[in-house]
Copies of this chain bind each other. A is one copy, B any other.
Amino acid sequence: MLRFSRFLPSASRRGFDIKEALWSGSLTFQHAVSTSAANLDERSSGKKFASYTVFKGKAALSIHPILPSFSKLESGGSRIERNGSVMLTFFPAVGQRKYDYTKKQLFSLSPTEVGSLISLGPAESCEFFHDPSMKSSHEGQVKKSLSITPLGSDSGYFVNITVLNNVQKTTDRLSVPITKAEFSVMRTALSFALPHIMGWDQVLTHQPAAPASSKPRVERPHPDSEWER
């Protein structure tokens, strides 16, 4: 029998408890979040923020989705300009249930990387490599890798980030064990998010016709647009 409480620190059996402990015990984290949110909101009032965060002994991992952006076309429609993504934020523990958000490390998953993660079998691994400065003069200065490796016995995964900074001569590693239940949340949330970060939900949402365009569409082409276009 799986007893999921075994995988969590004793205070973390209830989601709310972890959070309350954190809010009261870790001012550093709370403050950092507020600041970050404020910065974002200056250019995005009305936006909403929600993440899924797991707090473990040595580090915490927080995941949140980022919307795609569309650009207007001359004809009045719009086309996706940049895919959304799913941002992974790691931050190290600096004490019992205290985390230092200022030492966070970020890793942004593209749609294909999300596809890789949600199709991962129980005994499979995957690894992604990012160079934030690729194709610039700073290419190669910083190298990031994210690996997801099984804990064994179908009990979850290790999520590891390594950030190698060739300028500052530093290597940061953070690793967060994820239970099978937590990975199920991530898989479900990421599967839900994927069509949204690709913009497909916006394409597939029925747009009510504008009230003025009451004239019939006379010249509609044959449905088999495979051929005509």
Contacts and interface: CB of A to CB of B under 8 A. Distances in A.
Contact of A65 (B1, B131, B188, B203): B203
Interface residue SS majority, chain A: mixed
A13 interface: yes
A112 B181 contact: yes
A169 interface: no
Contacts of A181: 112-113, 115-116, 119, 126
Nearest to A135: B17
A22 interface: no
A162 interface: no
A93 interface: no
Contact of A219 (B13, B43, B48, B106): B43
Interface residues of A, number: 111
A199 B46 contact: no
A189 interface: yes
Interface string A3-40: 11100000101111100110000000000000011111
B80 A112 contact: no
A224 B137 CA distance: 15
Given A115-B185, A200-B193, A1 B46 contact: no
Contact of A185 (B21, B114, B124): B114
B107 A226 contact: yes
A48 to B, nearest CB: 5
A226 B76 CA distance: 32
A103 interface: no
A204 B204 contact: no
A98 B194 CA distance: 27
A188 B194 contact: yes
A108 B115 CA distance: 23
A198 interface: yes
Residue of A70, A130, A180, A185 most packed against chain B (CB within 10 A): A185
